[in-house]
Chains A and B, each alone.
Chain A
Amino acid sequence: MNTASLSRVDLHTASQFLTMEAKLLDDRRFNEWIDLFTDDGIYWVPLRPEQQSPDEASLFYDTKDFMRTRFERLAHPRIHSQIPYHRTCRIVGSVMGPDAVGDDEICVKSTLMMADYRQGVQRLFAGHVEHRLRVDKNELKISMKRVNLINCDDAFELIAVPF
């Protein structure tokens, strides 16, 4: 763990990191996106606004293993729900922080809007996002990405890719 380099992460670096991360998802470079996470990294989308715990139902609560299973399936030639796949476009905004969390982690907050489109239906998702970042082998890594959708407790038509 290189805490010295973590302290050099400023708002600009964090913003660039978040923009690059969103771009990987828009470009469907899912394996590179997984590599952004620490080995114990978690991607979480709760189903209640004030949800404290993953011990109740979540839209996503993916460990790296689950992420791999998810993207292996997305690469399958006969994944019916993604033929054709959802095209997506993300905007990352209002980046705040970074704020130190303990000695080896920082917290970056942002807002996210993502539109997706598939076969005549365009949707708009919006949410408040919290990234927990660490430095691992001199690279910035995500230990937790939590997306608080403003309509997290709504009923959704099928969703295939992370926000």
Chain B
Amino acid sequence: MRCGTTDEKLSDLSRLVDDARVHRSLYSDPDIFALEMKRIFGASWLLVGHESQIPNNGDYVTTVLGLQPVVMVRHTDGDVYVVYNSCGHRGAIVCNEDQGNTKLFQCAYHAWTFKTNGDLDAIAMPRGYGVAFDSCDPSLGMQRLPRVASYGGFIFASQSRDGPDLKEWLGGASSSIDEILARSPTGEIELTAGMHRYLYRGNWKLQLENVVDMYHVPFSHESTVSRSGKQFGRRPGEKAASEISSKGRAAVRWEERTAWGAARYGHSYTGHQPVAESLPDTDLFREYMAALEERHGASKAMEVLQPTRHNTAYFPNFSLQALNMHVRVIQPISVDRTEVRVYPIRLKGAPAEMNNGFVRHLNITHSAASLIQTDDLECFRRCQDGGRAQNSEWVWFARGAETDQFLPNGDVTNRGTVETPQRAMYRAWRSYMLEDHQ
């Protein structure tokens, strides 16, 4: 495909993605990035945060959705609102803190104040405005995102008034959230253990593709596997964890993992990693097990401890990992630069020492200075730089295309190191970008 003017390029969008490959311009073209921010991040549900971050009225957290600065805040009515972090007067950032508690938001520039639902509260020195000035004009407020909904404590918002409700949008991927919640003795989780932030010089989609890419593991992460063929212990109490190899018995087991892609909206997951099978024989674990049995009964508790999911990628802005329990939120910065925020998950009601162990292991698997994530970041950067070459126009996701099984509801399943998840993402990408979803 030749790239012509912006209009020509965008009218050719449907030709940029087919069943097994996507055009390299999806990763490098600033016009396509701008359109993604409008048609994907501007339309889809996006993960904003978690209820545990704002338990009390007036609690707030600031973040960015796509390129939009927002505040997630619990209002005086107890409900959660997501409002643009921008003054209706001159557009300045109103709330300059990462998080906190407040009765009102006040702009630094001319002291306009806003209620915690985003409505304009008061204009400083109001007599300076004439009668024609309508201070009730809602656009003078910070403005609410039109739709906010929650699932399992996770708070989502959409910048579009229309579109599927949250449950329909989550589809089969909601069960990955259910699985994590079931591992909590109270059925609740908390995102209150801080966050990691890492940055890479590559397109945002490289991260989302990667979390459900089981093909890269023995190669990208070769340096994390010892001579015995086992990766270092990724969970508390483990000396060594998964056998990782592109050959032999380990490779055969790897091919038994499930892969799943949603019919619509682009979510996907990969099956659970074959970690050490036996459950830890420690007092701490027995304490957790007892709490879990109290909630679920003995046999269901055992079932809950045999997770079926590894990573779940929710298109377009987050992922959920069951092995090193965390949520990752993707914040595109520009076509070739992306920030990712990694939140450790705490299981409410589980022994504190156990939750702390998970937090500490996440430091070495997914911080900016970690042993796993750093090799992924390197590969993202190499994809971004190498993609400029003119050897090919395409990025390939053909692995396993012939063996994809389509279920009656349109979802797709397969096994092993296939690129079924990525194909699901790009089907959704195409739908969003051509605006044929709604």
Contact = CB atoms under 8 A, between A and B. Distances in A.
B377 A157 contact: yes
A76 B362 contact: no
A61 B378 CA distance: 22
B57 interface: no
Interface stretch (A14-22, A77-85, A98-106, A134-142): A77-85
Given A54-B356, A80-B375, A155-B198, 5 more contacts: A57-B344, A58-B360, A60-B367, A81-B374, A81-B375
B232 A155 contact: no
A73 B360 contact: no
A14 B198 CA distance: 34
A69 B226 CA distance: 10
Given A81-B377, A157-B199, A158-B377, A56 B193 contact: yes
Interface string A46-81: 011001001111111110001001101100101111
Nearest to A75: B223
B367 A59 contact: yes
B371 to A, nearest CB: 5
16 contacts: A48-B194, A54-B359, A56-B192, A56-B359, A57-B194, A57-B196, A58-B360, A59-B367, A61-B363, A69-B232, A73-B371, A80-B223, A80-B379, A156-B198, A157-B377, A158-B198
Interface of B: 98, 192-201, 220, 222-224, 226, 232, 339, 341-342, 344, 352, 355-356, 359-360, 362-364, 367-369, 371, 373-375, 377-379
A78 B378 CA distance: 12
A55 B378 contact: no
B369 A69 contact: no
A3 to B, nearest CB: 31
A45 interface: yes
Contact of B199 (A54, A55, A59, A156): A156
A27 interface: no
Nearest to B342: A57
A55 B374 contact: no
A80 B379 CA distance: 8
Contact of A57 (B195, B201, B355, B379): B195
Contact of B378 (A48, A60, A66, A80): A80
B383 to A, nearest CB: 12
Interface string A79-98: 11100000000000000000
A40 interface: no
Nearest to A69: B232
Interface of A: 45, 47-48, 51, 54-62, 66, 69-70, 72-73, 76, 78-81, 153-160
Contacts of A59: 196, 363, 367-369
Contact of B363 (A51, A58, A154, A157): A58
Nearest to A55: B356
Contacts of A66: 364
Contacts of A79: 223, 375
A95 B390 CA distance: 54
B199 A57 contact: no
A87 B29 CA distance: 33
A159 B374 contact: yes
Contacts of B360: 54, 58, 61
A51 to B, nearest CB: 8
Nearest to A70: B371
B362 A55 contact: no
A72 B360 CA distance: 19
Which of B226, B342, B374 gathers the greatest number of chain A CB atoms within 10 Å? B374
Q: 4 smallest A-B Cβ distances: which pairs?
A: A155-B197, A56-B194, A76-B223, A57-B194
A54 B194 CA distance: 10
B356 A158 contact: no
A51 B363 CA distance: 15
Which of B232, B367, B373 gathers the greatest number of chain A CB atoms within 10 Å? B367
Contacts of A80: 220, 223, 375, 378-379
Contacts of A45: 369
A106 to B, nearest CB: 26
B193 A156 contact: no
A56 B192 CA distance: 8
A51 B339 CA distance: 22
